[in-house]
Amino acid sequence: MPAQTCAQLTASKCVPCEGGVDKLTGEQAEEQNKELTGWEICHNGERIRKHWTVKNFMAGLDFFNSVAEIAETEGHHPDLHISGYRNVEIEIWTHAIGGLSENDFILAAKIDQLPVNLKNS
C-alpha cells in the first residue's frame, strides 16, 4: 500500500474490518505516518497515538465529543484518554487484526481536521 496524503485520507471512508486483513508492515506504517502531524507509532508498531494539552477539562470533553461523532460515522472507534484535567490522548488501531490498517490513518487524518481548544503557551 503506497502512503496516501492527508487529503486522500480525509476523502476516504473506513472500511469495516472483522479480521482477515493483513496488518500494515512496520515500513508501511512509518511511511503513512509521515503524512500525519504529531502522531507517533507505539505499542511495538501496533498503534498510533497523539497527545494534546487543551485549555481546560470541558475543552477536552468537547473535543472528544467531536471525535466520537467521526468515530461513529466511520464505524471505527479509538481509545480516548483524559488525565490531569487537560491532557488528552487518542490511540488508534484496528482491534480485529491487533495492529494498524489504513482505517487507522483515515481516522487520524479526520481527527486532525477537528477544532481543538488548546492551552495557550
Q: Where are the domains of the chain?
A: 6-111
* Structure confidence at residue 16 as a pLDDT band (50, 70, 90): confident
Distances (CA, A) of 48 to 56, 59, 85, 119: 24, 22, 22, 23
Domain 6-111 has CATH 3.30.1360.20: yes
Q: Which residues pair with 50 in a beta bridge?
A: 90
Model pTM score: 0.95
pLDDT in tens, 107-118: 999 999 999 999
